Amino acid sequence: MLAGATAASTISLSRGEAQQTPQKIRVATGLLATWQSTAWLGAEAGVFKKHGIELSVPAIAVGGPQAAAGVIRGDFEFAHTGVLPVAEEVLKGNDIVILATPTTEFTNQFVMTPREITGLDQLAGKKVGVLSETGQTSVATRIAIEKAGATATYLPLVRFDRIFAALAAGEIDAGVLPVDLRFVGASRHGWNAFPLHEFGTPSIFASTRKLIASDRDLVRRVMRGFVEAIYVFKTQPDVVVPLLQRYLDIADRSAAEDLYKFHVPVFQKVPKPLLDNLKNVQDVLVGKYPAAISLKESDIADASFIEEMEHDGFIEHLYASRTK
């Protein structure tokens, strides 16, 4: 039924694409979060199959640096992660490139604390749960707490659900959580929430220049499926909300609907990888990598696939079919 609902309102494939044997593609995500659910949702809704792609997401919430490293090693063909891990790997001389930014930058993560901790400055000497030691979210958490004048101990717990459980059990004094869990923590435990600003750069979808050079058509079809998955997210709540409930393990349908409505406007119709705040990433990395000061958008991003879809009318056709 999901695949049928999707197929009824999306663009049909060319005869060549429809007839080929599906190619298997693996995707990793750094986080378990709505804004990094695009590939999984698209696969579950049958979008990628229409483009001759059998897509799986075997590694969910492995951490941003680990997702990027997995693409470089060849464990996965694509990764949904942050700009910072990609930029760092490029500065190391490794092959990874940003192809899309599915959302605009928005406040999607928070440092959560028990009700008795009313300011980040009170976290001096406290234990703070983070995802990893070097990921974009973890670095942003450290910066926010240090700016408040506190020096804390950071415990890498890999997944948001583990951070949530540790905070609820009193094993840590604070933890970084996504908007998906921010409202749950506040209503269930009375936790305080402090917005986290991640360098003004959104999450990204990345692959390698090697894969592009060896099979550009494959990457093109994956990216068309990715853009169409965003279209499905923005226009088909009856398809997406149940999938979000399963992906995020949310039993409450109304909570999932609220979460869906929150995210619809931040997903971009044209997810071109425009990194307007790259300087913030440079500032974070320049101490470790002096070459970061001269890092350019073209060094870490390839906008050609999204631009092609703009020029050939693929994106406009998707949304025009919905209007009709």
Place of tokens 């409930």: 245
For the record, the structure tokens of 226 come out as 């990715």
Q: Would 2-105+201-323 and 109-196 be classified into the same CATH topology?
A: yes
Phi-psi region of 132 (alpha: psi -120 to 50; beta: other; left: phi over 0): beta
* Backbone φ and ψ of 310, nearest 5°: -65, -45
- pLDDT for the residue 7: 43
The one-digit pLDDT tens for each residue of the chain (324 residues) are: 444 444 444 444 443 444 468 899 999 999 888 999 999 999 999 999 999 999 999 999 998 999 999 999 999 999 999 999 999 999 999 999 999 999 988 888 899 999 999 999 999 999 999 988 877 788 889 999 999 999 999 999 988 899 999 999 999 999 999 888 887 788 789 999 999 876 656 789 999 999 999 999 999 999 999 999 999 999 999 999 999 999 988 888 888 898 899 899 999 999 999 777 788 889 989 999 999 999 999 999 999 999 999 999 999 999 996 654
Determine the residue type at 7.
A
Can you name the CATH fold of 2-105+201-323?
D-Maltodextrin-Binding Protein; domain 2 (3.40.190)
Q: In the beta sheet, which residues pair with residue 109?
A: 178, 196
Query: Alpha-carbon distance 144 to 270, whole Å?
Result: 31
Q: What share of the chain is helix, strand, coil (3-state, %, to 5)?
A: 50, 15, 30
What is the number of helices (H) and of strands (E) in the chain? 16, 10
Spell out the domain ranges in the chain. 2-105+201-323, 109-196
Q: Which of 112, 240, 123 is nearest to 188 (CA)?
A: 112
Q: Tell me which H or E stretch contains 240.
A: helix 237-248
- pLDDT for the residue 200: 56
Q: In the beta sheet, which residues pair with residue 175?
A: 112, 129
> Counting Cβ atoms within 10 Å, is residue 92 exposed (0-12), middle (13-18) or buried (19+)?
exposed
| In contact, 23 and 218? CB cutoff 8 Å | yes
Query: Alpha-carbon distance 76 to 222, whole Å?
Result: 13
- pLDDT for the residue 187: 77
Does the domain made of 109-196 have the CATH classification 3.40.190.10? yes
Fill in the DSSP letter of residue 301: B
Query: Alpha-carbon distance 137 to 131, whole Å?
Result: 7
- Predicted TM-score (pTM) of the model is 0.79
| In contact, 100 and 159? CB cutoff 8 Å | no
Determine the residue type at 318.
L
- pLDDT for the residue 152: 97
For the record, the structure tokens of 155 come out as 């415990």
The set of residues, in sequence order, having a beta carbon less than 8 Å from that of 132 and lying 6+ positions away, is 63, 64, 65, 66, 138, 156, 158
For the record, the structure tokens of 216 come out as 């550009």
The set of residues, in sequence order, having a beta carbon less than 8 Å from that of 317 and lying 6+ positions away, is 11
Q: Which of 38, 44, 32 is nearest to 1 (CA)?
A: 44
- pLDDT for the residue 114: 97
Place of tokens 């750069």: 201
Fill in the DSSP letter of residue 277: T
For the record, the structure tokens of 73 come out as 């090693």
- pLDDT for the residue 300: 96
Query: Alpha-carbon distance 71 to 97, whole Å?
Result: 10
